[in-house]
Amino acid sequence: MWERIVRIATHTDFDGICCAALFLRKFGFDIKVIYSTVKEAKDLSNGGFSVDYTCDLPKIGTSVNIDHHKSNYEELKRTNRLTQEDKVNPNAASATDLVFTFLEYENDSIAEEIRELGHLADIAQLPSEYHPLDIVLNMNSDDPVSLRKISELLAKKGRQILTTQWLQENYSKVRSIYEDTHNKIKEFLANNSTFPRILILDTRQALPSKLAKEVFQPIFERNVAVIALVYSKSTQEPIRVSFRVAKAEQMRYDVSTVAKRFGGGGHRMAAACSPKYEEIPEKLVRELENIALVGDSIKYLHL
């Protein structure tokens, strides 16, 4: 069946890039890789676009779907588009794990390293030494040429991608932006001594949208259970909200139910949506109240 591979579509995040790297390592660098957001994947599918495999995204056309998002699984079931060929498992930790198994990797240490990196990134446990890679990826998430380069380097080098000249040069270009972002986060933390259990944090006009998610870990260290991160590329761009649940609280909250109320989706611990301007913050607060536990406080703050 491998001879029929023409092209794959994959998500632009770390998990999706690792999926692409596994395909490239298996079949060589001649295959076509299309890097897509969730919205773009839905638009491609509605427009009749065709690929052979869709990874870490909603299913495009009649492709084989390799994914771990609960919302995608439920939608495929609802619309009778889930086939025996699809490998959609909401219980899987990452799409990279599913691709690794699907491609039947054995005795390949580089492939195992790629699988582990994708897995750790998607459960928010990527070791700190990989932050340069994560930052370069995030800052180039809308540049398919850079995403292809990262995928190929991962496919060739695995963990040793950190030593490559390309990554080091590209990290040096964005390092000052990254450091400035963290200085703003530190200032925010210093000016707020207490935090609610459920925090809505609006970072619009305060942080670069591509680095906004850097606030998650420092704030979770302040005993916050759930974060709803509000960000946008510009005042003309749609608002995005990314939800995360602290690892220690993963069985107590399901943020995917909140995201679905705004047309989005995801997992129990990580989900996203694009609410309307007028739904922030009042409706967002009301929906988060539906998953709050007794005694939980909810607060909306600007960074």
What is the rounded average pLDDT of the residues 166-174?
Answer: 96
Distance, CA of 41 to CA of 44 (rounded, Å): 5
What is the rounded average pLDDT of the residues 157-169?
Answer: 97
Distance, CA of 67 to CA of 54 (rounded, Å): 8
Contact 152, 166 (CB under 8 A): no
Read off the pTM: 0.84
> How much of the chain, in percent, has pLDDT values that exceed 90?
78
What is the rounded average pLDDT of the residues 176-192?
Answer: 94
Q: Read off the amino acid at residue 68.
A: H
Other Cβ atoms less than 10 A from the Cβ of 3: the count is 5
What integer pLDDT is reported at residue 268 of this predicted model?
87
What are 1-29's pLDDT values in tens digits? 445 556 999 999 999 999 999 999 999 99
Q: 2-6, 67-71, 80-84, 152-156: lowest mean pLDDT where?
A: 2-6
Residue 148 has pLDDT above 90, yes or no: yes
What integer pLDDT is reported at residue 135 of this predicted model?
92
What integer pLDDT is reported at residue 125 of this predicted model?
81
> How far from 276 is each of 43, 77, 180, 230, CA to CA, in Å?
19, 27, 29, 12
> How far from 232 is each of 46, 148, 210, 235, 284, CA to CA, in Å?
25, 25, 9, 7, 16
What integer pLDDT is reported at residue 147 of this predicted model?
97
What integer pLDDT is reported at residue 289 of this predicted model?
97
What are 220-253's pLDDT values in tens digits? 999 999 999 999 976 677 899 999 999 899 889 9
Helix (H, G, I), strand (E, B) or coil at 196: coil
What integer pLDDT is reported at residue 5 of this predicted model?
58
CATH 3.10.310.30 positions along the chain are 192-302
CATH class of the region 192-302: alpha beta
CA 166 to chain centre: 23
What is the rounded average pLDDT of the residues 258-275?
Answer: 89
What is the rounded average pLDDT of the residues 255-268?
Answer: 89
What are 17-76's pLDDT values in tens digits? 999 999 999 999 999 999 998 889 989 988 888 899 999 999 999 999 999 998 899 999
What is the rounded average pLDDT of the residues 88-96?
Answer: 93
Mean pLDDT of the chain: 92
What are 200-229's pLDDT values in tens digits? 999 998 999 989 989 998 999 999 999 999
Residue 129 has pLDDT above 60, yes or no: yes
